[in-house]
Amino acid sequence: MGVQKKSRKFAQAKRAISLRDNRLKESEKTDKKGKTGKDDVTAGSIVAFLPIQHGSGPPPYSVLVDTNFISHTIQHKLEVIPTMMDCLYAKCIPVITDCVLAELEKLGQKYRLALRVAKDPRFERIRCDHKGTYADDCLVDRVIKHRVYIVATNDRDLKRRIRKIPGAPIMSVARGKYVIERLPDAPEK
Report the pLDDT value the prediction gives residue 42, as an integer from 0 to 100: 36
Give residue limits of the domains in the chain: 42-181
What was the pLDDT predicted at 114?
Answer: 95
The pTM of the whole model exceeds 0.75: no
Residue 149's DSSP bridge partners are 62
Residue 189 is predicted with a pLDDT of 46
pLDDT at residue 69, rounded to an integer: 97
pLDDT per residue rounded down to tens, the chain (189 residues): 667 766 666 555 556 677 777 777 655 454 444 444 444 333 334 444 444 444 556 778 999 999 999 999 999 999 999 999 999 888 999 999 999 999 999 999 999 999 999 999 999 999 988 887 789 999 999 999 998 999 999 999 999 999 999 889 999 999 999 999 964 444 454
Domain at 42-181, CATH homologous superfamily: 5'-nuclease (3.40.50.1010)
Contacts of 8 (CB under 8 A, 6+ apart): none
Which amino acid does the sequence have at 106? K
